[in-house]
Amino acid sequence: MRRAEDFATVLRSGARARSGELVVHHAAGLSAESAPLVGLVVGRGVGGSVTRHTVSRKLRAQLSARLDRLPVGSGTVVRALPGAGTASSGQLSSALDAALDRLVGVR
């Protein structure tokens, strides 16, 4: 997901679930494309530049493993909360799974 309008649409109209240090927003039917759109929001509250980029890389890896299980044409935005900067990849993975299970049942 690259356009601000797509982020805004998912954040405003999508369902949301919080799990651990993540909030996941999901909106079905965002686009007619075959691939689901996914975006990350990792703000300054998470930490400095290095910490934010580390969290982004961890989340990107976790999402890429789950991309084929997201509904076609849907939009998903994962927002990292301040505690995500100290969370391990395993903690982020379980938080992401729990939130996605509540929203779309991807397991």
Q: Which residue has the tokens 């927002």?
A: 79
The mean of the pLDDT values for the chain is: 91
CATH architecture of the region 4-103: 2-Layer Sandwich (3.30)
Tokens of 67: 């991309």
pLDDT at residue 77 is higher than 50: yes
Instruction: Say how far apart CA 23 and CA 4 lie, in whole Å.
Output: 18
Per-residue pLDDT reduced to its tens digit, 7-27 = 999 999 989 999 999 999 999
Helices 49-66, 89-103: inter-axial angle, 10-degree rounding:
50
Mean pLDDT confidence for 41-64: 96
Which range, of 23-32, 62-71, 98-107, averages the lowest pLDDT? 98-107
pLDDT category, 40, cuts 50, 70, 90?
Answer: very high
Q: How confident is the model at residue 107 (pLDDT cuts 50, 70, 90)?
A: very low
Domain ranges of the chain: 4-103
pLDDT of residue 106: 54
Q: How many residues comprise the chain?
A: 107
Q: Which residue has the tokens 């999402």?
A: 63
State if pTM tops 0.85: yes
